[in-house]
Amino acid sequence: MKGQPIIWQRIRWQRIRWQHLGALLPLVLLGMAERAIAHGVVLEYNATQAYEVTAAYDTGTPMAEAQVAVFSPDNPSEPWMTGTTDAEGRFLFTPPSPGNWEVQVRQAGHGDLVVIAVEGEAIAAAPTAESGSPSTEATDTTDTPGVDTETAMESPATTLTPGESSNSGSSSPSITGLQRGLMAGSVVWGFVGTALFFSQRNPTTKR
Amino acid sequence: MHIPDGLLPPQVCVGGYAITGLATWYSLRQINRREDPSAEVPKAALMTAAFFLASSIHIPIPPASVHLVLNGLLGVVLGYFAFPAILIGLFFQAIMFQHGGLTTLGVNAAMMGGAALLASFIYSLHPIAKKWLGDRWTILSFAFVGGATGLCFSVLIFLGLVITQIPAGFNAEAERAAIYGLAIAHLPIILLEGFFTAAIMLFFYRVKPELLPD
């Protein structure tokens, strides 16, 4: 006699719970359709066209941890993005639209500016891939070894965009050690010639 | 030490050219007042060659590699000839090696040449100490101080310029730390240039005393 109300109570509670669950069910299904409403993490990856800027001093030492500012073609005064180079002086960015993108690299009052002419075709949507196995790699790039110019950039050869002409450039012309030596030598010879000219022309000179 | 193109706003570049123009005019006028203005040209030409080459001698001290500047030496050895010599040397460095830049030529020349004139002024005070130290030590000590001050002063101007002109968008804190690091890296070079200037002046004193500036 005494137990009956308790049983009824339990049944009532269970009903209430089921009613609640029933109300939640569409939400749960919706959540599954939207993939992640709460704690589930889904990683997707796309292959895109990225530009790699390699910054090095003219001695060949990479500019590690140097600050980089990227200016979009539309707004040359406010940086579109900022960042720092890695230990090898490399910095990677993906311009979303064609135009002349300016990349400024700066460290301790030294630095340079390079203008990257991004063509329309280079930005054409690369095929996107979605996979069950998540990957944190956003871009697919190849390394660019042996860059000895002050600031050089190299476009990566993405595997999903075959036949793309890889364009690269530099903020300063790359000259070999021999050319450098010749240039320095000719300038020095100019100075020595000036010295010789003035010392001969003027016999009262002290030299 | 050389400020490249594109890091400074145009006003600063124009200001640099204005100061350089004034200083060049003043130096040339002082040279022209001499009995024989071209007498020192051979010495100045050879020192310009040394200045031009000095920036190619890199000494790797993190965060950047630093190089010899020799503006203090030019100031001590050449006097008023130092400013035009440095201007010409910087011009060739800019067009040959993209070391510095043509827009910042004025700023760089004012920075290094102005410090060279200061070094020249310091050395010109050396007759005061001749009584106590004797010829040799006077020349040595004043050449050292002049050579070291020349670079030290231009490093200070460089610091002031690049710290106040960090463009928006860059992390000012990190950049400032890197600039201070670079300034500290210049301390050994400042001492080295002081010793180098003293050594050159001692060499002149022993071998060809008539080359010493008055």
C-alpha distance from B209 to closest chain A C-alpha (Å): 10
pLDDT 10s digits, B144-190: 999 999 999 999 998 888 888 777 667 778 888 888 888 888 888 89
Residues of chain B in contact with residue A150, where contact means CB-CB under 8 angstroms, are: 98
- The amino acid present at B82, given as its one-letter code, is A
Tell me: the pLDDT tens digits for A101-152? Answer: 888 888 877 777 888 888 775 444 444 334 333 333 333 343 333 333 333 3
What DSSP line would sit under A43-105, residue for residue? --EE----EEEEEB-TTS-B-TT-EEEEE-SS-SSS-SEEEE--TTSEEEE--SS-EEEEEEE
Give the span between the Cα atoms of B182 and A111, in whole angstroms: 13
With respect to CATH, is domain A45-170 assigned 3.30.230.70?
Answer: no
The residue whose two tokens read 């990190």 is: B174
| Cβ-proximal residues to B105 (8 Å cutoff; 6+ apart), any chain | B16, B17, B20, B87, B90, B91, B94
Residue located via tokens 């790039």:
A141
How many Å apart are CA A97 and CA A58, to the nearest integer?
31
Residue B51 has a pLDDT of 92
Q: Domain ranges in chain A?
A: 1-42, 45-170, 176-201
The whole-model pTM stands at: 0.72
Distances (CA, A) of A53 to A99, A116, B100, B152: 17, 10, 21, 34
CB atoms within 10 A of CB A89: 23
Nearest Cβ partner of A191 from B40, B45, B171? B45
Rounded CA gap, A47 and A49, in Å? 7
Q: Six-digit token pair at B41? A: 């040209």
Q: What is the pLDDT of residue A156?
A: 33
Residues A22-78 have pLDDT tens digits of 555 555 555 555 554 567 888 888 887 788 888 887 777 788 888 888 888 888 778
Residue found by looking up tokens 């390699």 in the block = A54
The CATH number that domain B10-211 falls under is: 1.10.1760.20
The structure tokens listed for A17 are: 């719970």
Read off the pLDDT of residues A2-13 as tens digits, 9 standing for 90 and up.
445 555 555 555
Q: What are the residue ranges spanned by the domains of chain B?
A: 10-211
**d(C-alpha B88, C-alpha B165), whole Å:** 26
Nearest-Cα distance to chain A for B49, in Å, is 5
CA distance A99 to A117: 6
pLDDT for position B48:
94
CA B140 to centroid of chain Cα atoms: 19
Q: Give the Cα-Cα-Cα angle B22, B24, B28 (nearest 5 degrees).
A: 120
Q: What is the pLDDT of residue B35?
A: 86
Report the amino acid identity of residue B40: E
Quote the strand ranges of B19-98, DSSP E: 58-60, 65-67
Average pLDDT, integer, range B34-50: 90
Start-to-end CA span in chain A (Å): 130
Given phi > 0 = left and psi -120 to 50 = alpha, else beta, which region is B4?
Answer: beta
Closest residue of B to A176, CA-based? B97
Question: CA-to-CA distance for A206 and B7, rounded, in angstroms?
Answer: 43
ipTM for this model:
0.84
State residue A158's pLDDT score: 29
Name the average pLDDT for chain B: 88
Task: Work out how many CB contacts closer than 8 A connect A with B.
Answer: 118
Among B53, B181, B182, beta carbon nearest to A184 = B53
Count Cα atoms within 13 angstroms, Cβ side, for B74: 33
CB-CB neighbors (< 8 A) of B38 in chain A: 198, 201-202, 205
Whether the CB-CB separation of B213 and B201 falls below 8 Å is answered with: no
Q: Peptide bond before B63: cis, by omega within 30 degrees of 0? A: yes
pLDDT average, residue stretch A176-189:
88
Contacts of A61 in chain B (CB under 8 A): 60, 65
List residues bridging with B58 in a β-sheet. B67
